[in-house]
């Protein structure tokens, strides 16, 4: 199989790091994007022909600089994995305006800008794959995750629309919707903020999500939910939202103290 050029955002930890390693193990040339340059350089040292590109994606002007640098180095982009993201969980009235703007910028505006920047490069060759890492939170809204839900629902809309817009010209746009993933910094932050705890048997490893992303790059599909059993929750939320409302209300009454 030929070596692809793959951009992975959020490659300095968690799912992004595991994904970069999984593409690297396949012999792909991986572009590693995140803010922590030391982490990217350390990872790049173990991935031949990879390129560490430190960038703060909350500054959405970075998208063009990143794609320009990749094209200058490799002349093409085969796969873009929009993975970098944060989730600041809290009651909506406790969220800080600056944090809200930064979360929307990173989780939603950055993938839009990166896809916009990469599209002409892929369109010229008539092929490419864009993989957006959304979340179950892109399908089901829950208390204390409102802004995160808004960004991940937004990413799902972007994915669906661009799939229909770009597919006819050879570019696949896929969404992946994982539930709880262990071994990430996101998980550590999340536990500090809220009381949600997923039973162990339902939690995913970063390697499982990374493998699913590599499989999507090989054989694009519109929509992957992990673990698959969460399709039941999605169906329930669509068919009986009142039931989920009642469960959520019980959680709010037990946890909200002010
Ligand atoms: N963990 C879960 O349970 C779970 C479940 C479903 C979906 N997801 C999604 O999976 C994706 C990856 O998260 P993760 O779980 O692997 O968490 P993570 O370990 O916290 O990784 C987040 C990555 O995003 C990067 N990042 C954060 N702010 C950035 C910024 N301003 N500019 C550039 N990069 C930035 C971080 O690197 P730097 O700090 O070095 O910039 C890091 O590499 C996110 O989109 C998240 O929403 C996670």
Give pLDDT tens digits for 167-215.
Answer: 999 999 999 999 999 999 986 555 445 556 678 888 999 999 999 999 9
Nearest CA to ligand 1 atom 48: 181
b vs e for 16-27, b when ≥16 Cβ sit within 10 Å of the residue's Cβ?
Answer: bbbbbbbbbeee
Where residue 55 falls among pLDDT bands split at 50, 70, 90?
very high
Full-model pTM: 0.96
Active site residue 177: no
CATH of 5-233, one of 3.20.20.140, 3.40.50.300, 3.40.50.720, 3.30.980.10: 3.40.50.720
Nearest CA to ligand 1 atom 44: 85
- Of 74, 89, 148, 177, the catalytic one is 148
Under 8 Å between Cβ of 14 and 206: yes
Return the bridge partners of 225, or none: 177
Q: Where are the domains of the chain?
A: 5-233
Q: How far is the C-alpha of 127 from the C-alpha of 139, rounded, in Å? A: 28
Which pair of structure tokens corresponds to residue 140?
């089901």
């Amino acid at each position: 199989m030929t070596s692809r050029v793959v951009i992975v955002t959020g490659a300095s930890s968690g799912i992004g790091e595991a994904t970069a390693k999984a593409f690297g193990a396949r012999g792909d040339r991986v572009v590693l994007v995140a803010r922590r340059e030391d982490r990217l350089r350390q990872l790049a040292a173990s991935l031949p022909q990879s390129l560490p590109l430190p960038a703060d994606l909350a500054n959405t002007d970075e998208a063009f600089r990143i794609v320009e640098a990749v094209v200058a180095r490799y002349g093409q982009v085969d796969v873009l994995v929009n993975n970098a993201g944060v989730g600041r969980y809290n009651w909506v009235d406790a969220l800080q305006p600056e944090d809200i703007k930064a979360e929307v910028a990173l989780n939603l505006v950055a993938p839009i800008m990166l896809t916009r920047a990469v599209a002409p490069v892929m369109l010229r060759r008539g092929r490419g794959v864009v993989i957006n890492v959304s979340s179950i939170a892109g399908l089901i809204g829950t208390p204390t995750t409102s802004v995160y839900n808004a960004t991940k629902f937004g990413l799902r809309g972007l994915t669906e629309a661009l799939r229909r817009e770009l597919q006819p010209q050879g570019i696949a746009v896929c969404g992946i919707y994982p539930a709880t993933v262990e071994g990430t910094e996101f998980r550590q932050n999340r536990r500090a903020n809220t009381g949600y705890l997923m039973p162990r048997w339902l939690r995913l490893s970063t390697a499982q999500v990374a493998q699913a992303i590599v499989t999507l790059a090989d054989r694009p599909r519109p929509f992957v939910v992990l673990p698959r059993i969460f399709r039941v929750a999605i169906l329930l939320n669509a068919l009986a939202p009142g039931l989920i409302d009642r469960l959520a209300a019980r959680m709010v009454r037990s946890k909200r103290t002010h």
